[in-house]
């Protein structure tokens, strides 16, 4: 399965996240994204998924990473995630998203994320390490 998503960080450093409403990984948080439809480019699919899942319009930028994920013996996902910028719309959960919201770095640290998303975000410097509060007593 070919899929595309968007990593969107606002001016305040918050990351746009959606709570998955369906399998795989129902109830976990992810960046907006989903299947690439016939005839779509990866960037077009990422923009469409942002619109469908969050109600926001986005401009898609450079590709941040590609991840290959095996969800079962029969399903392997090739996921391309892109940097993106919101240019309009009103935030609301839609399509197959159970919830959609902007998360601070601290909220993101505590949220149950899909698969290896946390590692991919960290590798891309999202959120910047100076935005995450240290855990526990210092």
In the chain, what are the domains?
2-118 (3.90.79.10)
Count CB neighbours of 133 within 10 A: 8
pTM summary value: 0.89
How would you write the chain as a 3-class SS string? Answer: CEEEEEEEECCCCCEEEEEECCCCCCCCEECCEEECCCCCCHHHHHHHHHHHHHCEEEEEEEEEEEEEEECCCCCEEEEEEEEEEEEEECCCCCCCEEEEEEECHHHHHHCCECCCHHHHHHHCCCCCHHHCCCCCCC
- pLDDT tens, position by position, 7-59: 999 999 999 999 999 888 999 999 999 999 999 999 999 999 999 999 999 99
* pLDDT score of 134 more than 60: no
- Confidence band of 130 (pLDDT split at 50, 70, 90): low
Bridge partners of residue 77, in order along the sequence: 69
């Amino acid at each position: 399965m070919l899929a595309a998503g968007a990593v969107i960080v606002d001016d305040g450093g918050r990351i746009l996240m959606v709570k998955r409403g369906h399998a795989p990984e129902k109830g976990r948080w992810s960046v907006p994204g989903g299947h690439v439809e016939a005839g779509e480019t990866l960037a077009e699919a990422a923009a469409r998924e942002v619109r469908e899942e969050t109600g926001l319009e986005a401009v898609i930028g450079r590709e941040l990473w590609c991840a290959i994920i095996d969800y079962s013996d029969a399903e392997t996902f090739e996921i391309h995630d892109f940097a993106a910028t919101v240019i309009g719309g009103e935030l609301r959960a839609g399509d197959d998203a159970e919830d959609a919201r902007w998360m601070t770095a601290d909220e993101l640290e505590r949220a149950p994320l899909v698969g290896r998303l946390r590692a991919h975000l960290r590798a891309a410097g999202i959120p910047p390490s100076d935005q995450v509060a240290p855990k526990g007593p210092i």
